[in-house]
A and B are shown apart, each in its own frame.
Chain A
Amino acid sequence: MTAPQKRGMSPDTLSGGALMLLGGAITFAAAGAGIGTLGDPDTGFLAFHLGIALAACGGLVAVVGWVRRAPGDRLRERFRGSGRSLEVIALLIVYSLLLERMGFPLTTFVLLWLLSGGLDRRRRWRAAGYAVALTAATYLLFEVVLDSGLPAGGWF
Chain B
Amino acid sequence: MDGVLTGIAVAAQPVNIAFCFLGVLMGTLVGVLPGIGPIATISLLLPLTAQLDPAAAVIMVSGIYYGAAYGGSTTSILVRIPGEAATVVTCIDGHAMAQQGRAGTALAMAAIGSFVAGTVGTVGIGLLSEPIMRHAVRLGPPEYFALMLLGVLMVIFFSSGAIVKSLAMVVLGLFLSQIGQDIVTGEARFTGGSLELIDGIDLVPLAMGLFGISEVLLNLEGPARATPAPLPWSRLMPSREEWRESAGPIARGSLMGFFLGLIPGGGPTLASFASYAAERALSRKPETFGHGALAGVAGPESANNSAASGSFIPLLTLGIPGNAVMALILGAMILHGVSPGPMLMQERPEVFWGVVVSMYLGNLMLLILNLPLIGLWVQLLRLPYRLLFPAILLLTLVGTYATTRSVFDLLVLIGSGLAGYLLRKLGYELAPLILAFVLGGQLEQTFRQSVLMGGGSLGIFVERPAALILLLVGALFIIVPLSGAVNRSRLRVSAAE
Contact = CB atoms under 8 A, between A and B. Distances in A.
Contact of A130 (B178, B387, B407): B387
Contact of B220 (A88, A108, A112): A88
A85 B411 contact: no
Contact of B175 (A54, A96, A134, A142): A54
Interface stretch (B237-245, B275-283, B291-299, B423-431): B423-431
A58 B426 CA distance: 13
Given A54-B172, A93-B411, A116 B390 contact: yes
Nearest to B44: A146
Interface in A122-145: 130, 134, 138, 142
Nearest to A116: B390
B175 A85 contact: no
B427 A12 contact: yes
A79 B425 contact: yes
Interface stretch (B9-17, B111-119, B127-135, B182-190): B182-190
Contact of A112 (B216, B390, B451): B390
Interface string B211-243: 001001110110000000000000000000000
B395 interface: yes
Nearest to A37: B456
A11 B426 contact: yes
Interface in B391-414: 391, 393-395, 397-398, 401-402, 405, 407, 410-411, 414
A81 interface: yes
Interface in A69-95: 78-79, 81-82, 84-85, 88-89, 92-93, 95
B190 A57 contact: no
Nearest to A75: B426
A31 interface: no
A89 B221 contact: no
A57 B47 contact: no
A67 interface: no
Q: What is the interface residue range for chain A against chain B?
A: 35 or more
B189 A33 contact: yes
Given A108-B394, A112-B390, A117-B386, 8 more contacts: A47-B178, A81-B221, A82-B221, A82-B425, A99-B410, A134-B394, A148-B398, A149-B405
B426 A15 contact: yes
Nearest to B410: A96
A64 interface: yes
A12 B426 contact: yes
Interface in B448-478: 448, 451, 455-458
A61 B451 contact: no
A80 B300 CA distance: 33
Interface of A: 11-12, 15, 19, 22-23, 26, 29, 33, 37-44, 46-47, 50-51, 53-54, 57-58, 60-61, 64, 78-79, 81-82, 84-85, 88-89, 92-93, 95-97, 99-100, 104, 108, 111-112, 115-117, 130, 134, 138, 142, 146, 148-150
B390 A89 contact: no
Contacts of B395: 138
A149 to B, nearest CB: 7
Contact of A85 (B47, B171, B220): B220
B167 A57 contact: yes
Nearest to A84: B220
A29 B386 contact: no
Nearest to B395: A138
A97 B407 contact: yes
B492 to A, nearest CB: 17
B407 A61 contact: no
Contact of B221 (A41, A84, A97): A84
Given A43-B185, A57-B164, A93-B414, A15 B428 contact: yes
A46 B178 contact: yes
A58 B168 contact: yes
A12 B398 CA distance: 35
A109 to B, nearest CB: 11
A39 B451 contact: yes
Given A51-B175, A53-B171, A146-B402, A44 B390 contact: no
A44 B189 contact: yes
B5 to A, nearest CB: 36
28 contacts: A12-B427, A26-B190, A38-B451, A39-B456, A41-B448, A42-B185, A43-B185, A57-B171, A60-B164, A64-B162, A64-B164, A78-B426, A81-B221, A85-B220, A85-B221, A88-B220, A92-B393, A92-B397, A95-B397, A96-B414, A99-B410, A100-B407, A115-B389, A130-B387, A146-B48, A149-B402, A150-B398, A150-B401
B174 interface: yes
Contacts of A39: 451, 455-457
B447 to A, nearest CB: 8
Contacts of B407: 96-97, 99-100
Contact of B414 (A58, A89, A100, A104): A89
A97 B415 CA distance: 13
B456 A61 contact: no
B300 to A, nearest CB: 28
B217 A85 contact: yes
